Structures are given as structure tokens and as C-alpha cells.
Chains A and B, each alone.
Chain A
């Protein structure tokens, strides 16, 4: 398949792996921020191709995983309000909140429908004019412009039964929070591919400058990732730290200006709570006042039970890269994809799910 096979070429992958082994002379600790990268690394067994002194850590780049329990509880409570139709991406369905999950809420009678895009959610609102239709907006800058666009369409077409429960988040503040915490000393960051398509590379410049961390934006195929690792190791060996793009077919330094404008038109930044990290200033998106009639959290008055964290669950530390999934006592035992205790085991981009599914042979 064109534009995919080239980036899975075994010969090219082998040459890149050899090159990395050749130039790597010292230990290097890299973090892939994005859950999509974690899955690609595990699925393709990338670690096996790298010298042992290169350590790869997984970061907090799975939007489902970083959604705080309170926000999941709110979605579940909303789904049980009579009349309301909840529309959501499939990954949210099984995520455990404090007491149950959307999947359980659906079995208890909640009208919860899986959609594949925000456009489908908007269409559900058009098709059900008598009922409030709430879209669970979970995602990073890749998803946010599509939600912004849906809000503008609802405004234009006077769809007055469409709402969003907004848990959209920004990646750069979370990356900065991790670097600021300093729990793990990183030498390099594999920057997210699709997020960078939208926001460009501007926000990463500060990490290279202020924290001396090499940054390379990567695509999602094995050759993409190996190329990014090679570029990172080169910087580290040279003792430099700058922002490079390995994913040139998908990312321009300035990003997607139109999408950025859309986000700015519809949303304001707000402090947001991230699972495992806590409150991060100006790291979330909130509907601008002029669009607040679409905000489900304002429109529906719901009572939330007290938040309960799951005993023994170490998703927080895993999201910060402090431990690996297999270091968690619940991993593969009490917590598995069939009975997930924490969200990292649920989401298709969660670190624990990726380690569980493709693990062992990847070490």
C-alpha cells in the first residue's frame, strides 16, 4: 500500500537500526509522549532493534488515560439522565470511573452511542431534535479542531440540542509539567506526530532551550520511529538540543494555521486536571463564553459521588514514565483488558494495554 509500505521497509529499518547502534556511545533515555507511538513501538517490536543503553519510556499521550476519574464520573452520571443521548468514541466505553463505566451505564439503560467522528455526533443531534445529544469531547489538539468545527456548524444550522462535555487537553503544557517535575531525567522526546500536524513545532522550542532535551517529531510507522530515534541519538551524541522533524510528510513547523484559528475562535485555555499529574495551568480547553450554551456541564445540573481512586492502580506513575506497566503489581493479574482497573489498560493507545497485548517478547 502506497505511503505505508515504504515506511515499513525491512531493509531500511535494519539500516537505521545499524546506524543507531553505530553512533550510540552512551546511555540515553527517550520518552515517546504519544500513545499512538507507544502502540507502534510495541507492535513492531522496535525496542528489540535498539542497543540496550537506549531506554524508551512511555508518556502521558493517551487522551482517555489522562482523563481524571471525576470527569469520567461526570460522563457516566450524564449518561444516566433520562432523555439524554450520549455520543462517544469507542475507547471511552470501558474506562472505569470511581464506581462504574459507561459500558455498565449502557447496560443499566443509558442511551450511549459510539460515533466515529464529531460529525456523526452532530448528525445524531439532527436526527433526534427532541432530545439533548451530548458528545464526550476527549482528545488532544488533533480532536479539538473537529469539535470546534461541530460547534460552529451547530451555531450556523441552529441545532439547539447539541452539547459537549469538554475534556479536551493540550499536549505542550503536560510535556512541560513532566520536565518540570524532573522525576525522570530525559535526554530526548519523540514528539507527537498528529498533534504536531496541528500545532507545529513552535511549542517544543522551549523544551530544547530550557531543559536541554532533544526533540524530534515522528510519524507512526516503524521506519518513521527509527528515523526519529536516530535523529535524537545524533543530537544527544553531539551534545545539542533542538527541535527536528522526522515526520516531514505530515508536519510543517508552523502547523495547520486554519485549525489553530478554529480552536482559538471556539475555545479558551483553562486549568485542567490530568490523571497522574494533577492540575496543570492552562492545559485544557473550555468553550468561550459566547458558546457556553453548548456546554453540557453548565446545562445539566448533576450530582457527583465523591471521587474514589482505585487501590493499587499505578496508572499515574505509568503516565509520568516513572514506572513501566510491568512494574505495577496489578498488571496482567487483577488488571487486564477484560477487567481493567485503570484506564491505561483500556484505551487502545494506553501503555498497559499495549504492553499487555504485545508484551513479553519486547521485554
Chain B
């Protein structure tokens, strides 16, 4: 049995210092972090975006990723969706006593790889250890700062009638990958999480067009929640077409089996954009060149009708409302 995290690892003692200097810091080291002072000191100027998010995914390792990759991607993506270029992030760990140090090392390697891929530095951090049962293996919080260049004004309230809605790829993959590993549901699915940093994708989109009005990554609540947010914030109607929305066969199959709708299942590496009609094809083309958006597609448009509502044309030619998700997503009874 490998070495495990003890309460003493969080006590500020030599053990804590060893954990930081041997396990946590080396993979993510950079000159700002290396000062090991109480705060990171940064030289920045311009319009800044600032965001924070906590990660409590269960299980911490899932097909296609782990909590470390998720924690970096989530914050990088939140910054990117404001049109900001992510510059640096913080990393705070709350560790449950008993976690395998090998697992922690794997997660830190994943943090390192993902941060390198996104081109962000981790400039400050914190570690706490809590008694067994007071956390579930590992919780992570990341905050991030990004720089908004070129006067970009991207917001969920900026979608306008006529805008095309572009989705970067298949929906529901993260949610189904995680759900398949949950206790009690032993599903073996050919689905892996789509967890990915989208900053390079966004950067190529912003280079292709100055007329990207809204951007968001549809995480919890899925595409349905994000489109409803656009509709409400922008006081516009949204019309999407069921047939145009890419869904991996494995996700579709699992959703059929469990009585779930992929529109409501979480993503961690997808974005939806509202783009002025004239620029839509240009943006779509730029997106499809990025490895995380090969399947990007125009799935619908913003309209002046049914304001505040999302309506979907079904495969058989009727239409229906796509409402906000409600409560926990529970499997059906029969």
C-alpha cells in the first residue's frame, strides 16, 4: 500500500513543507510561484477578467480526465468565455485524510499538463487537510485572471435577433462519462469526458470575427441551461434544430437507457457562441480547424419571437419548448 495523506500533512509542520516541496510545487513551478511569498505579485495592465470556481467531482478520476484537469480547464474556460486571454490561476486543495499520495501526484501531473496546454501559470496556492469524512478525497478551488484585448465585449446579454448559434461539438460527454463511473450504475460506455481548455479555440474565433456577441461553456445544466440564460439575459428568443445538434452515439444510447436528455447533461470542453449572421461561416470555419471543435455546427439562431424562451424544432417537424433544467437529474422509474 502506498503512502497516504495524514492530517499532519496540513499542519504547517515539516511534513507539510515536504508535501509542498516534493509533491505539489515541482510540477507547476514557475518564477512567480518560486518566491513562495504570501501572495503572487503580478505586473498587469488593461481590462482584466477575474473568476473563481470549485471542483468536487466524484469520482476524482473519470474516463477522459480527472479533477486536476477539470479544475484548470474550468477556470481557463470561464475566463475565455468573457473574451479574456487567461494569464494565471491559483490552485487551492482541500484534501481528505487518507488520500493516496500517488493519486495526488497523478492529479498534479495532470494540472501541470493542462496548464501547459492552455499556456497559463499557477502563481499561488494553498493546501488544507481535513479529517476523514469531512471531504470526499479531494476538493479543488481555482481562481483565474485574464486579459481582455482589443475591446472585446462578449456577454450573455449581447445576443441579437438574427445571430447564428454555433456549438463547438457533441454534447453530454462529460456528464455521461462521470455518471458511468458512479457507484451503483456500473455502465461501460464508449464515452470519455470532453474536458479541455478552450482558450486557443476562442482566440482563433476572436481573430476570425469582431462580431461574436455571446460565448458560454455549457457545463452543469447542459446546453439547455446555457441557451435559456442567453434568451433571458438578452431578452430574445432562441430557435434550435434537434437534427443539427451533434451527439455522440454512446451518449445518445446511455441517455435513452436512463431516460435522460443530452440537452441537460454537463459538458466541460464545449462552447456555444452567438455570432452575427454575416460572420457565422467564417467563425465556424476557424473553429473546425481546432482539435476541440472539429464537429462544430450551426445549430440555430436568435430570433425576435418568443422572447426569453428556447424552442426546438424536433426531428419529426414539430416544435417544443426547451426549459431550464430543474433540480437533480434523476433516472426514470420504469
Contact = CB atoms under 8 A, between A and B. Distances in A.
Contacts of A10: 315-317
A49 interface: yes
Interface residues of B, number: 27
A360 B321 contact: yes
What is the interface residue range for chain A against chain B? 35 or more
Contacts of B314: 43-45, 222
B333 A45 contact: no
Contacts of A337: 326-327
A194 B316 contact: no
B331 A116 contact: yes
Interface in A17-55: 36, 42-46, 48-49
Contact of A120 (B184, B259, B320, B334): B184
A361 B309 CA distance: 11
Contact of A361 (B317, B321, B331): B321
A349 B333 contact: yes
Interface string B221-260: 0000000000000000000000000000100110010110
A158 B320 CA distance: 51
Interface in A309-363: 336-338, 347-349, 356-362
A337 B332 CA distance: 15
B323 A64 contact: no
Interface string A125-153: 00000000000001110110000000000
Given A338-B327, A360-B321, A361-B311, A64 B316 contact: no
A357 B323 CA distance: 6
A172 B94 CA distance: 55
Contacts of B328: 90, 93
Contacts of A49: 316-318
A299 interface: no
Nearest to A91: B333
Interface string B289-333: 000000000000000000001010011111111010011101111
Contact of B334 (A94, A113, A194): A194
Given A139-B333, A348-B332, A349-B332, A43 B320 contact: yes
A302 B315 CA distance: 51
A169 B318 CA distance: 34
A89 B333 contact: yes
A23 B12 CA distance: 81
B331 A140 contact: no
A27 to B, nearest CB: 21
Contacts of A116: 184-185, 258, 331
A8 interface: yes
B249 A1 contact: yes
A114 B328 CA distance: 12
A4 interface: yes
A115 interface: yes
A348 B261 CA distance: 11
Contacts of A48: 318-319
A338 B315 CA distance: 29
B316 A13 contact: yes
A194 B253 CA distance: 18
B334 A63 contact: yes
A14 interface: yes
B317 A64 contact: no
B184 A44 contact: no
A92 interface: yes
A361 B313 CA distance: 11
A359 to B, nearest CB: 6
Interface centre among B253, B321, B328 (most CB of A within 10 A): B321
Nearest to A34: B334
A270 B331 CA distance: 29
A74 to B, nearest CB: 18
Contact of B333 (A63, A361, A362): A63
A360 B311 CA distance: 10
Nearest to B247: A1
B334 A1 contact: no
Contacts of B321: 357-361
Nearest to B252: A1
A92 B321 CA distance: 25
A14 B317 contact: yes
A194 B334 CA distance: 9
A94 B334 CA distance: 16
A45 B332 contact: no
B310 to A, nearest CB: 11
B327 A356 contact: no
A251 B321 CA distance: 32
B185 A138 contact: no
Contacts of B317: 10, 13-14, 49
B318 A91 contact: no
Nearest to A12: B316
A360 B256 CA distance: 25
B88 to A, nearest CB: 38
Contacts of B311: 361
Nearest to B249: A1
26 contacts: A1-B256, A4-B256, A10-B317, A14-B316, A43-B314, A45-B320, A48-B318, A49-B318, A64-B333, A89-B332, A89-B333, A90-B330, A91-B332, A114-B331, A116-B185, A138-B333, A140-B334, A143-B333, A143-B334, A222-B315, A337-B326, A338-B326, A349-B332, A358-B323, A359-B321, A362-B320
Interface of A: 1, 4, 8, 10, 13-14, 36, 42-46, 48-49, 63-64, 89-94, 113-116, 120, 138-140, 142-143, 194, 222-223, 336-338, 347-349, 356-362
Given A43-B314, A349-B332, 20 more contacts: A8-B315, A14-B316, A43-B320, A44-B314, A45-B318, A45-B319, A49-B317, A90-B332, A114-B331, A139-B333, A140-B334, A194-B334, A223-B316, A337-B326, A338-B326, A347-B333, A348-B330, A348-B333, A358-B320, A359-B321
8 smallest CB-CB distances across A and B, nearest first, come from: A45-B318, A90-B330, A337-B326, A13-B316, A91-B333, A89-B333, A48-B318, A358-B320
